[in-house]
Structure 1
Amino acid sequence: MVLSVGGASWISGTRARGFGSLAECLGSLDPSTLVGSASDRPLVGIDDAHLVDAVAGDRLHRLVAAGRLSVLATARQDASAPPGIDKLWVERLVEHIEVAPFDSTALGSVLHARLGGHIDTSTLERLWAATHGNALMLRELVEHALEDESLTCVNGTWVWGGLTERPGKRLSDVIRVGLRDLSHDEHELVHMLAVAEPLEAEIVTSFGLAKAAESLDLRGIISVERTRARVRLRLAIPLSRVVVASRMSDLTAQRLRRQVADALERTGARREDDILRIVSLRMEAGLVPGREQLLTAARTAIRRKDNTLAERLCLLALRDSPSEAETSLFDPVPQSARYGAGLRRVLARVGSDPANATDCVRAALLLGQVLVGKGDHEDAETVLATALDSGVEVPLDEYVVATHARVINMAWSLRRVADAGRVLATAIAAIGPEHAGMLHATRAMIAVLSDQLQSAVDIGDSVLCDESADLPVTQTLLPTVTFARTELGDPAGALALLDRYREVSLDWDTDAMLLANAVSARCSYLLGNLRGAAEELDAIHRDAADRQPVLMQSVLDRARLLRLLGQPEHAVILLRQSLAVETTHEFPATKAWPLAQLAGALAESGRHAEALRTLVEVRSVRSEILSSPIAEDEIEYESALVLAHTGDHSGAVAQAREVVERAGAAGRLVRAVFALHLAARITDGAALRFRDQALLLAARNTGGIVRVIADHVRALADGDGNALTKVSEQFSDMGALPLAAEAAALAVRAHRASGQRRKGREAWAACRELLRGCDSGLPPWTDRESTQERDVAPLTPREREVAALASTGLSNRDIADRLVVSVRTVENHLHRIYHKLGITARSDLGRGLEAVIARTESTPLTAPLQLMRPAGAERVA
């Protein structure tokens, strides 16, 4: 029974509809109705229960304690409620449930329900970063974005690039409600954080705002971040920063920025990004820092991949008088010639002043590196070529770094490998091999890009054995060479090389040290120490907590480790966070690579339809950017994995076999073995070829997880239950629980086929135990027998793509443009899809596709193992 009050069954914390106060409402109730069993009691709903007055709270408590009333109430976590309300849950008269913010996965589900379509990965992360999962903020932000059309559906995918203008009135009002009743000091601190967060606790204390910070922390308005001995404060809801800053007086904002910049400078600007923060704050306050400060800040911005800020800093440093506006440097010219023409004009004006000319060229060299990072590769080549060929002398280390950026840009992005080689050879000849420094690493990177990994290793062997190899040479060359060694199947040699330089690496640049540590973790996991590698990568991410973004290669390795350890959902979160960072590809990775890994992680976590949609997104991204053979094979591997999970076993095997052939021909043993492993798992190791035998023999000599994978493939091919059990135990010891459970499950089948029922029962019990430690169940191909019976006419890979796109609402023309086929081809595909799925309407495509995927899925502890369970296995606990 629900109490109807004035025609309404829900009561505000202050007033009931049709009544005065809540106390008057409760007093008007007929006592004769407040009896009966629990199911017959009146139910009163109270919104904003923290606003209830003390008299009403006490009366409500007495009625509930007497068993005469049931209550469902909501209250703000950061507000104090009257004693009567608090006593309801303290005395266990009501159940106290804390409504936590959404995590990124739950946020995605909520948005999918609200928008009714696929949401772009970067959009999901931007919305989570803006709201931190706060349900109220998320709703208001999404509704605002829909109203101003910044959140739009593009080709069946919802995309949001962020707030394009000042937040609307309602969104601003909702946020300001949470910031009401602030004291003067609290108000000052909130405004300071809005324009200059994060703020160190000692800076807040120096302004006499420590007590205000404590109060705001208790109210949940600010959040406290702790990194080792460093304590920093931020606004708890990032969207609050935009709203508060947009309503602040310009004079107030300028004053606060200058005060924080001065305070940072007084503390000594000890950390790498302090100069960048000081320069940025002063620029926003209307001040123009000196050129040397601008250049220092620009280098830090480049390392942090904040290319927009770095570009602005470089343009300011290129001015030839303090009063010159940054926008006047380049008059309107065709885009392709904009930077080159503007730079030549600047150099012509300052040519008579050598010191000024040198500073301008230094700024131009940094600008070229920024343009590479932004993906403006043609402009980057123009700027770097103009600056490097200007004849102006610059510091050698800056010349080498800029040459490195130019050569990699030419070879990696513009695909002018021969021209890049000539530029590199000319530069090394000009400065002498003994001074080439990181250009030796450039040679090695060109070799990796060309899929000539052994050449990269040879370069490393010749340079690193030279006693004259100094710190800049080793810190740039070593990560590339050791990465090549791991790809070739020599993780032990790579790790030994890294260990040789372990002590001196403490003096390396932060980027180089993090990259070397990431390669070290990669070696550890290939050698079978999965848990140790995970700890190393976690440490890298903690060390890089103040850096944005973290090195992509370490993200990829960390996500793969999480998946091997049976935590695909954690990998999904990590990959989505990395994909939200606005950056171009990072050698040798591209944006398509982590996106493909995301598709694989989604498939492993059972979200197969979303995995297929993500693969379509991968196809779109791949068509927009250039890639490397290494990245392409990684993407193809993940695509094959998704196909396998969604039931297209023949397509998955064919794709995995292509990776085996390509990677094997290039000597990339690790990727070739992993791809062969996938194909063998899907087919029980059938049809091993002569070339595969040699591959497995080489893999067995590497040790670690690669050797166990080779043993797994052999055991599958032989149908050897004992060997599969041994492989399962080895995977388990390493921490690779999903592979261990899968090997144990297939050992059940092998033992059953050979009549060894006791061993089958033991393997079944081991499989169940292993699955308890995983977030995912067994892959669907372990249920191969039933799949063959029921999947008579499976969808082809292209039909799955067409179905996935059509289910998002795309027209046939849009699908044809996306897949680069004719409209008639799309229509033919849809005709066959309708027939196979047994549907007649386009609106049923989503349901039909989900049904096809569901038919190939297996329930973790039931379906696949029921099929393989030996007689008597049901008695095994």
Structure 2
Amino acid sequence: MTPGLNAAKFVVREKELEQALGALLAGRGMVIVGPVGVGRTAFLAAVAARLNASRYAVVWTSATEASRELPFGAFTGLLGVTEQVSQGGLVGALLRRAEGRTPVLVIDDAHYLDPASAALALGLAHEREVRLLITARPDAPMPDAVVALWKDRYLRRLDLEPFGLDGTTRLVRALLDGVAAGPTVRLLHGWTGGNPLFLTELVRHALATGRLVTEGGLWWWRGALSVPPRLAELFDGWLRGLDHAQRDALAAVALGEPLPLALLDAVAPGVVESLEERGLLRSADGDGRIVVRPAQRMLGAALRHRLPGLRRRRLCAELLTAGADAVDPVQRARWQLDADHPPEPGTLLRAAALTCRHDPELAARLARRALERTDLAAPVLAAALVELGDPDQARQVLRNAGPRARLALAAHRCWAERDPSGAHADLSALPGAAAAGLDALVLLFAGRTAEAEQTAAEALRAHGPGLASARLAHLLARVLAGRTAAAAAVAPRTGDELAGYALARLWRGEDVRLPLGDLAFGRLPHAPGSAAARHIAEAGLPDTEWSLLSGYAHTLAGEPDLAVARLREAVVQQNGGHRLFRTEAASWLAMALLAQRRPADAAAVLAAHPPDAIALLPGLSDQATGALAAARGDLPGALAAYSSAAATARSAGAHTLELTALTELRWLAPGASPDRLAALLTSVDAPRLAAEAAAALAVSRGDPGELLEHAAHLEKLGLTDRAARLAEAASSTGGDRRGEAVLLVSRLRGHAAVAVTGSVALTPREMEIAALAADGRSDREVARALGLSVRTVQSHLARIYRKLGVHSRRDLPFRR
């Protein structure tokens, strides 16, 4: 994937293009208003390219700061050397250029027009022979005559806005000539506000500097925000004319965004309003107080990058003195480091913990400084180093910290070194509540669900519900064991608990708010409103649903395309750092690809990400292997894999996973394990999953009424393929519900005869004829309505009756 860095890209705005063309064809023209970088000139070029060159002649001129100093400066180039500028003269010059066509005069950057040129443009709007296309910036002073063009309704006004997320996605795809990961697109959109110029420059700069890289077939942003040189020059122009106090205020906001207004007034009094009027700052209400940010995210990054060291040190010291308690620990810790103040270890530790998941580089910097004062910083530093891909250094940090880091060392052994058995042995030898809670989580990820639940329950009885690790392990173990109602009844306190709670609700078939994942790394979930979520929001990183669980939710909803998109992201995310859910991401992605009928791609995913000793969902990797074997037509291999998955889950005590494995086994082999599956249906409380299991059992009983009821239920759940299979089974049994079953097959198969058992589905034409006949129309009326012969209608009806097992119109089980 090597995109061309110099290729100009324009993303078509179809709706706006149609409006502009309509204004030209049906009226006198249009004024396009939009901020710097929104693509006004490119939009004009796109409009001009759509015009019929045999009917319209496009003539361009641009106003500039230099031309504003000359009367009629923007139009002198359109006239001969000896011609005097006048409305009539300009119209004549345009008509001569047009050579019998309608002239379209394009005036770019009309906000720079001198008063005489602006008056002339207003006069041209009265001319029937000429059409106008004019652009202007909304934030620049405009001559009254330009404003009158739309205010007095001579021309229509079109406000060209920055892109929304969809437009940003299309432009980024065009610039990269490939697909960017959803979190990266959202990150770019958040930084640029959807401004096409900013997006284009940022993407090209990131490609040149290695901040955009490909992983898992997707483009990902890696590293801190870096401002492209061309945009830095643009921002320098915005700052011209600012005095020292105004520059200090802007720099202070950049160092602390979002900065409380009261704190900014204490550092740089009396200048905030002037900066807001110039469009350099924006204010908003935040947690009951007014906070201030740079008007553009990248302006703040440019200011921080170019801030001289001594000035940075002075401003950070002033901010600390003026009221460091008014900001979150992360900002306070940054200021302490930049001001070279004696660090507060507690502040540094809290800040490192808040940033470890989404900004491990900053977390490592803060934790290293804290480690100079206390060994308590070692676990946070080690966690940040693992997220940064350096588990060996992380282990060394923990070893150097001595006894205080023994818990963290055991956690490192489990997840970073993929040795849960060794970690369990280490934790079993350690006393205290923290060791017991962590041991429950280790057992859970080692595939020992029942033991994890017991250990967590004992820890909670001994040490109370405040033990977060035991509480999380207990919640997840109950979900896996099949007690989803009990798990969903407990309000989650953390992002990790919200993930377990959401999984329980998904398996129950209930609506649920999914946990969030930050856009930088996104490996672990966090809850809306949590301290981490607030800090991420204040850092300007927009939230999105956690990719892993979002992808799985789309799979359950029967939306494989959306599932694959999110799970591709999850596989990349879970392949770095602590890799907690690496097996789940790869297995779910493979199964979503199989739902798209892409077995080769599913096989590649499973081969690239083989299972190891860490997995939250016992037997899931075997289920993915079984699904792949079934897709390839390897029935013995599929049966063996699903049998292994069911045995693994049963041994672990993860009965929800055993239920899903036996359900798949039953769909492949209707006589397989009926007693065990029936027993699980009475003990596993997961209605969404139980619906598939009950339907699989119904196939062997062959009762058409029961089969149709299950088919209707599965259709509501989005499982149309399996619903169609049940309906086909019902249609093959005969009886008085055969016609109903055939019609259901027809609808579920998309009116196409593609069923695997020699379909009895109606064709699209047969569906039309059946609908009309069922309404009581005669053969002749049906023929007239569809443009067919009467004999053709009668032939179709004979086939319809035969397929549905009925004898007349009155028996058709169909109404329009």
Q: TM-score by structure 2 length?
A: 0.68
| SS across alignment from 2:293 | strand
Corresponding residue for residue 257 of structure 2:
197
Decide whether the 8 Å contact of 1:314 with 1:366 is kept in 2.
Answer: yes
CA contact (8 A) 1:438 1:472 kept: no
Instruction: Tell me if structure 2 keeps the 8 A contact 1:669–1:699.
Output: no
Tell me if structure 1 keeps the 8 A contact 2:574–2:581: no
Q: Which residue of 2 aligns with 1:545?
A: 533
**What secondary structure, in the 3-state scheme, does the structure 2 residue paired with 1:461 have?**
helix
CA distance, structure 1, for counterparts of residue 312 and residue 575 of structure 2: 29
The answer to whether residue 191 in structure 2 is matched with residue 116 in structure 1 is no
Question: For 1:48-87, what aligned pairs fall within 5 Å after superposition?
Answer: 48-64=109-125, 67-79=128-140, 81-86=142-147
For residue 362 of structure 1, the aligned residue among 362, 376, 381 is: 376
Contact 1:2-1:42 at 8 Å conserved across structures: no
Instruction: Indicate whether 1:387 and 2:401 are aligned.
Output: yes
Q: 1:455 to 1:119 in 2, by over 3 A?
A: same
The yes-or-no answer on 1:409 pairing with 2:399 is no
Distance 1:629 1:563, change over 3 A: closer
Aligned to 2:29: none
Range moving further from structure 2, 697-706 or 78-87: 78-87
Give the AA of the match of 1:448.
Answer: L
* Contact persistence 1:489–1:699 (CA under 8 A): no
Q: Distance in 2 between matches of 1:577 and 1:188?
A: 41
Partner of 1:100: 162
Give the Cα–Cα distance (whole angstroms) in 2 for the partners of residues 758 and 532 of structure 1.
41
Distance 1:3-1:521 versus aligned 2 partners, 3 A rule: closer
Amino acid at match of 2:449: L
In structure 2, the residue matched to 1:283 is 337
Tell me if the contact between 2:557 and 2:717 (Cα under 8 Å) persists in the aligned partners: yes
Partner SS, residue 22 of structure 1: coil
Contact 1:224 1:232 in 2 (8 A): yes
Distance 1:257 1:59 in 2: 53
2:220 pairs with 1:238: no
The CA deviation at 1:483 is: 0.4
Q: 1:448 aligns with which of 444, 450, 453?
A: 444
Q: Percent identity?
A: 21
Correspondence 1:813-852 to 2 at 5 A: none
Name the amino acid aligned to 1:255. Answer: R
The answer (yes or no) to whether the contact 1:752–1:870 under 8 Å persists in 2 is no
Residue in structure 2 matching 1:785, options 749, 754, 765:
754
Query: Over the residues paired in the alignment, what is the CA RMSD in angstroms?
Result: 5.4
Q: 1-side partners of 2:703 and 2:146: how far apart? A: 66
- Counterpart for residue 797 of structure 2: none
1:171-320 paired onto structure 2 within 5 Å: 171-177=231-237, 187-207=247-267, 212=272, 216=276, 219=279, 221-222=280-281, 229=288, 232-267=291-326, 274-302=328-356, 304=357, 306-319=359-372
Equivalent position of 1:9 in the other structure:
59
Distance 1:129 1:229, change over 3 A: same
The match for 2:694 among 698, 707, 711 is 711
Residues 588-633 of structure 1 deviation map (CA, whole Å, 9 limit, x = unaligned)? 423x7557767877998x8x99x9889967865x37x966233696
Given that 1:377 and 1:413 are in contact with CA atoms closer than 8 Å, whether structure 2 keeps it comes out as yes
Letter in 2 for 1:200: P
Give, in angstroms, the shift of residue 738 of structure 1.
3.5
Residues 215 and 866 of structure 1: CA distance in aligned 2, closer, same or farther (over 3 Å): farther
SS of the aligned residue for 2:132 comes to strand
Contact 2:662 2:673 in 1 (8 A): no
Amino acid of the structure 2 residue aligned with 1:556: L
Work out the CA distance in 2 between the residues paired with 1:184 and 1:456: 62
Structure 1 residue matching 2:233: 3-state secondary structure: helix
- Structure 1 residue 491 displacement after superposition: 0.8
1:525 matches 2:506: yes
CA contact (8 A) 1:276 1:300 kept: yes
Deviates more, 1:25-34 or 1:529-538: 529-538
Amino acid at match of 1:307: P
Deviation per CA, 1:441-477, whole angstroms, max 9, x where unpaired?
222122212211111122233343x3x423443x321
Following superposition, the deviation at residue 284 of structure 1 comes to 1.6
Aligned equivalent of 1:694: 676
Q: CA deviation at 1:288?
A: 3.4
1:516 equivalent in alignment to 2:497: yes
Are 2:216 and 2:572, in contact at CA under 8 Å, matched by a contact in 1?
A: no
Could you list the runs of 5+ residues in structure 2 that have no partner in the other structure? 1-50, 79-85, 518-523, 776-814
CA shift at 1:700, angstroms? 5.7
Asked if structure 2 preserves the Cα contact closer than 8 Å seen for 1:724 and 1:746, the reply is no
Tell me the SS of whatever aligns to 1:785: coil
Of Structure 1 and Structure 2, the greater helix share is in 1
| 1:523 to partner: Cα distance | 2.4
Partner SS, residue 96 of structure 1: strand
2:464 matched residue in structure 1: 470
The residue that corresponds to 1:43 in the other structure is 104
- In structure 2, distance between residues paired with 1:696 and 1:214: 73
Counterpart Cα distance in 2 of 1:551 and 1:128: 12
Give, in angstroms, the shift of residue 252 of structure 1: 2.4
Which of 632, 652, 662 is matched with 2:645 structurally? 662
Q: 1:542 to 1:51 in 2, by over 3 A?
A: farther
Q: 1:580 Cα deviation (Å)? A: 9.1
| Counterpart Cα distance in 2 of 1:578 and 1:188 | 42
Q: Gaps spanning 5+ residues in structure 1: where?
A: 320-358, 390-398, 429-435, 506-511, 768-777, 790-862
Alignment match, 1:738: 718
Name the SS for the 2:133 alignment partner: strand
Shift of 1:638: 7.6
Report how far residue 576 of structure 1 moved: 8.5
Letter of the aligned partner of 1:256 in structure 2?
L
Aligned 1:718-797 pairs, distance under 5 A = 723=706, 726-727=709-710, 730=713, 738-739=718-719, 759=740, 785=754
Deviation at 1:283, TM superposition (A): 0.7
State the Cα distance separating 1:748 from its structure 2 match.
6.9
Aligned to 2:616: 630
Amino acid at match of 2:680: A
Letter in 1 for 2:672: F
For the residues of structure 1 that align with 2:578 and 2:255, how far apart are their CA atoms?
A: 31
Evaluate the alpha carbon distance shift between residue 704 and residue 240 of structure 1 in structure 2; reply closer, same or farther with a 3 A threshold.
same
Amino acid of the residue matched to residue 364 of structure 2? Answer: E
SS at match of 2:433: coil
In the superposition, relative to structure 1, how do residues 522 and 242 fare at CA in structure 2: closer, same or farther (>3 Å)? same
- Quote the Cα distance in structure 1 between the aligned partners of 2:309 and 2:260: 23
Q: Distance in 1 between matches of 2:562 and 2:385?
A: 33
State whether residues 700 and 710 of structure 1, in contact with CA within 8 Å, keep that contact through their aligned partners in structure 2: no
Q: Would you say the 8 A contact 1:10–1:46 is kept in 2?
A: yes
Shift in CA distance, 729/749, structure 1 to aligned 2, threshold 3 Å? closer
Shift of 1:530: 1.7
Query: Quick one: which amino acid aligns to residue 614 of structure 2?
Result: S
Paired residues of 1:3 and 1:42 also in contact (CA < 8 A): no
By how many angstroms is 1:138 displaced?
1.7
| Separation of aligned partners in 2, 1:98 and 1:486 | 50
* Per-residue Cα deviation, 1:37-81 (whole angstroms, up to 9, x for no partner): 9x9632233333433445544544554465433333444454454
Shift of 1:705: 1.4
Cα distance in 1 between the residues matched to 2:241 and 2:763: 60
Check the 8 A contact 1:89/1:96 in 2, yes or no. no
Indicate if the aligned counterparts of 2:281 and 2:293 stay in contact, CA closer than 8 A: yes
Q: How many residues align?
A: 690
**Partner amino acid for 2:163?**
P
* Alignment partners' CA distance in 1, 2:443 and 2:754: 46
What secondary structure, in the 3-state scheme, does the structure 2 residue paired with 1:485 have?
A: helix
How far does residue 136 in structure 1 lie from its aligned partner after superposition?
A: 0.5
